[in-house]
Structure 1
């Protein structure tokens, strides 16, 4: 792939779109200096258009230098655009009008692409759901597809840290826009996530957080791309970028699958070893090697060149970073897999001793492990998409805690590849009316380091005896010879999730109301406790 940048760039030029309701949306436009007709690339975002997804992507002038008119637009109520910002609510109608406008800009070749990361990726889906001009290609990176289930909640538990952090960011942007220094300082001065949550719920003029906690199905359906695009032909080329440790990974996986089901030939997927941001070769304090530094911008330009200019080769169908081999797999399609079960077993000391719990290929005799979640020292979440640090972090020190039950396979005697969704089915019991269970899948090396591959979380309302299915996230993992898989189970995931108070119907509770929760894990015999892995049956490239 050539890296020549043939164009000098003019811009940014300020441009305005007057919507049908009179609201004015403001954009910056970057153009190739050479005269001629060029495709338009539009990004719609809420953080102030000068940022333009540059936390992970190249600056708009880089894209313009490759022969594109690049338009970075402030969405309603953000930056210099008029109106009031309400997360996602106006993006379908405003987005549709913005597509019509962008395609009519002077110098446009008639071809229109959309790109951007996170919120800027969701605006692509929502604009597509509108009744305006259809884009000719889209490149959503790390976006939500069903915001209730792949953003706000996980396993029916509210993602407290993530949701409060983003709601506070948007509320501060709104306060700054209104020159409201008092509100800005009040948000900054909140003591912790719980205080911040309560503050933002009390200010619906500033924040969507109250609606997210109300959890009304009608609200979610109006802002969910997976609902709004259910009957859409999805007949436009799509280039999805995701990260194995991104908190929107399941959204990327589901969106790609939806496009792929309808139009396989024009669906393209790249998933790297990355967290939500930044995208580089470091993950959870681990250097993933030179291949992890993947040029997403060049890949996006190659995608747009092929579909908007008719240049170059068709992009690969799927490129997945193998977290075990630390190299890319380029696949003609996502390979068929078969569920492979690893059954939990122990002598009853899997929480007390790191060496007692096992993952066996078949069920063993009945046994169980019991540990206690203590609200005064809740088990932290390490690695994965919501842990600290996020990514491919070593959690072996935390596996040594006595409130974590740990189950490990024997060393693999043949390299084995897993691609797709993993899960844990755990038979649990508790004297508490409810509890939380957090599961972590790790790759354990010969040196004993347990590098986090995937985590999952479930809130269990009736914990007297329940078979809890904890959805782990999609993975691409080859387990090398001599390495082991480990499943770690704990009763909290602080501070990503609120501490369970130990009562029945979970409701936000003050710390003083929280009680210890004993949790028993039953395995062997008739108990179905097992780790379920998506094993690739045939060797893949």
Structure 2
């Protein structure tokens, strides 16, 4: 079967940019746009962006971002990374970014408009290129603003539980690996929809590569294998010279968990801790906001220029304030809050640390498991006290009837922000719900699950979704987490980290929890056997068991803001 696809190449260079072909140390030239203020009487600090998504595309809108940076007195330099769009070299992510980042910074410092100081800015992969430049340790790099990103992207895509000491890993995140099959084939980008009916799953992509006439070398490394990117970089960025970092995290970002882990790791490291700053908002990977979800044609910045203009000040503002301190020195360090965070449905707050001072843990115990398979919410209970007696709930994994992913693209989850209540009607989904709230419940910190689990398969997956159940019966995502577990049929305790959030559950609402063993096509279906899930032709069904009450009760732990006394 031939897979239809759409190929997108480089857009025109804007009139207010000047493109240079900047030479790297091996002779490869990278296409680089420079945006300068209209009247620059003296050398300027520069902000560098290095990305693989076409520096001139509407998708990254740097022609519009540039106007805000140059108006603030910065040169903005935007570069297509090696092998992408107008830049030369082999199309292969990650590996050359430290050297290329160093060379790009060095080129900037030798330009007549440069004052010799450089910052870096950007989302996702162009957040990673900032970490790669940190690893290369150019002395001119003075501050970075990585947004919705992580230092090790490939650690997010999968972790085989058979290769871990505790037998707990991560399911295969198809979206995270499929990304390379769209964006890292050659200089251009390819949009296509794999035929999800094809087995083995790997053949879905073989069909696409055959239609395109080229393939992604990095996809071939990750599916079905895995490559350690940080080892390939040489020096880990966290082992490099500390630089000030403003971590811009989205509560609904699909890589928000590793990004928060990066922040917390550096905030605990001597030398790095003093220069770590956090901006955390109720946004997803593509900068859609909770307070506008689900979006309309008029509020969708991907298609509406007016909506994009409204987004830009919030998108660039935190970075500009940060660079004013650490590049220009025009504002004191004391002007920056160490933590600025959004409490969803309530607004923005500041704190001296994360989680904010004044938070504490609250535990909800999973109870009434017999009702968890009732076929609708509320299902079982999330109670303040555990049940005295041990009890169990069982659910099936059927590879021929997978639990559907509620969005086609989790990178832009809040564009749809779907109602998840219908999933509770499935027999292969467990549901638990807490009491109706009489007062607001403010979540501000990590969320985790400790579950007593057993499975009949050698490997099984568990997907958890914590929801806000509204009085009208709709249920919308707050946080999520997932694990892949090596099993031998016996019960074991398994922790699921669901990341961090800032979120207000309003009076009349309830917490709800859904547990399942598939989430397709966001995640690769488990093989249910020792077979590789990418290549298995016949995945096997299994039964999972959840234990509640007794000596090892299952529980949900949330971090909450403690109401002020009196």
- Pairwise same-fold verdict (TM > 0.5): yes
Residue matched to 1:239: 246
> Shift of residue 151 of structure 1?
4.6
Instruction: Identify which range, 138-147 or 149-158, moves more after superposition.
Output: 149-158
> Shift of residue 419 of structure 1?
2.0
Q: Deviations over 1:160-205 (max 9, x none)?
A: 13321x11222454367xxxxxxx7xx8475346434446899996
Give the 3 Å change call, closer, same or farther, for CA 64–387 of structure 1 in structure 2: closer
**CA distance in 2: counterparts of 1:13 and 1:136, whole angstroms:** 24
* Aligned counterpart in structure 2 of residue 305 of structure 1, from 324, 329, 340: 324
* Aligned counterpart in structure 1 of residue 398 of structure 2, from 364, 374, 378: 374
* Aligned counterpart in structure 2 of residue 469 of structure 1, from 490, 495, 508: 495
- Contact kept, 8 Å, 1:200 with 1:207, in 2: the verdict is no
> Shift of residue 389 of structure 1?
4.9
- Contact kept, 8 Å, 1:238 with 1:268, in 2: the verdict is yes
**CA distance in 1: counterparts of 2:464 and 2:323, whole angstroms:** 39
**CA distance in 2: counterparts of 1:56 and 1:452, whole angstroms:** 31
> Shift of residue 476 of structure 1?
1.4
- Contact kept, 8 Å, 2:238 with 2:266, in 1: the verdict is no
Q: Deviations over 1:210-233 (max 9, x none)?
A: 222455565443249xx7123224
Give the 3 Å change call, closer, same or farther, for CA 25–356 of structure 1 in structure 2: closer
**CA distance in 2: counterparts of 1:213 and 1:254, whole angstroms:** 25
* Aligned counterpart in structure 1 of residue 24 of structure 2, from 19, 22, 44: 19
> Shift of residue 421 of structure 1?
1.9
- Contact kept, 8 Å, 2:145 with 2:247, in 1: the verdict is yes
Q: Secondary structure at the match of 2:118?
A: strand
Give the 3 Å change call, closer, same or farther, for CA 539–162 of structure 1 in structure 2: farther
Residue matched to 1:116: 122
Alignment of 1:70-89 (within 5 A): 70-89=76-95
Residue matched to 2:47: 41
> Shift of residue 282 of structure 1?
5.5
Residue matched to 2:177: 163
Q: Deviations over 1:378-425 (max 9, x none)?
A: 112337993995574321122222221111111234433332221112
Instruction: Identify which range, 189-198 or 90-99, moves more after superposition.
Output: 189-198
> Shift of residue 30 of structure 1?
0.9
The answer to whether structure 1 residue 319 and structure 2 residue 344 are counterparts is no
Give the 3 Å change call, closer, same or farther, for CA 240–102 of structure 1 in structure 2: same
- Contact kept, 8 Å, 2:230 with 2:236, in 1: the verdict is no
Alignment of 1:206-221 (within 5 A): 206-213=216-223, 215-216=225-226, 218-221=228-231
Greater RCO, 1 or 2 (C-alpha within 8 Å, sep 6+): 2
Q: Secondary structure at the match of 1:102?
A: helix
The answer to whether structure 1 residue 174 and structure 2 residue 176 are counterparts is no
Q: Deviations over 1:250-284 (max 9, x none)?
A: 23212322443344453322222212114345665
Give the 3 Å change call, closer, same or farther, for CA 421–145 of structure 1 in structure 2: farther
**CA distance in 1: counterparts of 2:434 and 2:340, whole angstroms:** 28
- Contact kept, 8 Å, 1:285 with 1:389, in 2: the verdict is no
Give the 3 Å change call, closer, same or farther, for CA 347–151 of structure 1 in structure 2: closer
Give the 3 Å change call, closer, same or farther, for CA 223–244 of structure 1 in structure 2: farther
* Aligned counterpart in structure 2 of residue 478 of structure 1, from 470, 493, 504: 504
User: RMSD across aligned C-alpha pairs, in angstroms?
Assistant: 3.2
Residue matched to 1:351: 373
Alignment of 1:337-486 (within 5 A): 337-346=359-368, 348-353=370-375, 354-364=377-387, 365-382=389-406, 386=410, 389-390=413-414, 392-462=417-487, 464=489, 465-486=491-512
Q: Deviations over 1:11-36 (max 9, x none)?
A: 31122322221112221111112132
- Contact kept, 8 Å, 1:151 with 1:247, in 2: the verdict is no
**CA distance in 1: counterparts of 2:88 and 2:497, whole angstroms:** 41
Residue matched to 1:274: 283
Structure 2: gaps (5+ residues): 1-13, 161-168, 300-306
Q: Secondary structure at the match of 1:128?
A: helix
- Contact kept, 8 Å, 2:252 with 2:413, in 1: the verdict is no
- Contact kept, 8 Å, 2:224 with 2:534, in 1: the verdict is no
- Contact kept, 8 Å, 1:359 with 1:408, in 2: the verdict is yes
**CA distance in 1: counterparts of 2:203 and 2:111, whole angstroms:** 47
TM-score, structure 2 length as denominator?
0.82
- Contact kept, 8 Å, 1:170 with 1:207, in 2: the verdict is no
Q: Deviations over 1:457-481 (max 9, x none)?
A: 1112215133222221211123333
Q: Deviations over 1:293-324 (max 9, x none)?
A: 6712122222212222222462222222212x
Structure 1: gaps (5+ residues): 1-8, 177-183
- Contact kept, 8 Å, 1:462 with 1:504, in 2: the verdict is no
